[in-house]
């Protein structure tokens, strides 16, 4: 198995994906981006990630479907600007958390970096994101 990359960001709005990736990279989080469901499945099939941060609505699928298929390989944090899914439904799919847009990017990045550095575990990350 290959070495785990830091995070996979799945976001279909290219401008937002660039901004998030730029911010995460600037705080030391290695970030790969997928703009579509199909691109995400290709990346997830090739690499495990420490965290997958996925928008719920993608042009060719959903973040929920990706989470259901790949949460055993990489932990998922889902987010949406809509009430697509309840917290219970997200957790039942295997997601660590479901976040609402607009995201507090600096706070999210800080918590993810703390997790990626091994300073907190998944349960502590979930508690901080709640």
* pLDDT tens by residue, 32-50: 999 999 999 999 998 889 9
Q: pLDDT at residue 86 above 90?
A: no
The predicted structure's pLDDT at residue 92:
87
Q: Where are the domains of the chain?
A: 5-129
Across the chain, how many H-helices and E-strands are there? 6, 7
Q: Higher confidence at residue 1 or residue 113?
A: 113
Name the CA dihedral angle for 29, 35, 38, 43, rounded to a multiple of 10 degrees: -20
Q: Domain 5-129, what fold?
A: Rossmann fold (3.40.50)
| pLDDT tens per residue, range 49-81 | 999 999 999 999 999 999 999 999 999 999 988
Q: pLDDT at residue 1 above 80?
A: no
pTM: 0.89
Mean pLDDT, residues 86-97: 86
Please confirm whether the linkage preceding 102 is cis (ω < 30° from 0).
Answer: yes
Q: Please, which residues have CB within 8 angstroms of residue 95's CB and are 6 or more apart in sequence?
A: 67, 71, 76, 77, 78
The predicted structure's pLDDT at residue 4:
52
Q: pLDDT at residue 6 above 80?
A: yes
- 4 DSSP assignment: P
Percent of the chain past pLDDT 70, that is, above it, reads 95
Half-sphere exposure of 18 (CA within 13 A, CB side): 3
């Amino acid at each position: 198995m290959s070495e785990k990359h830091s995070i996979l960001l799945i976001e279909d709005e290219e401008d937002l994906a660039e901004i998030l990736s730029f911010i995460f990279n600037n705080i030391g989080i290695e970030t790969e981006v997928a703009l579509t469901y199909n691109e995400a499945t290709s990346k997830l099939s090739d690499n495990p990630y420490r965290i997958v941060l996925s928008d719920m609505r993608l042009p060719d699928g959903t973040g929920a479907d990706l989470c259901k298929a790949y949460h055993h390989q990489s932990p998922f944090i889902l987010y949406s600007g809509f009430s697509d899914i309840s917290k219970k439904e997200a957790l039942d799919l295997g997601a660590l958390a479901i976040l609402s847009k607009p995201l507090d990017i600096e706070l999210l990045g800080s918590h993810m970096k703390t997790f990626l550095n091994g300073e907190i575990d998944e349960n502590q990350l979930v508690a901080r994101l709640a």
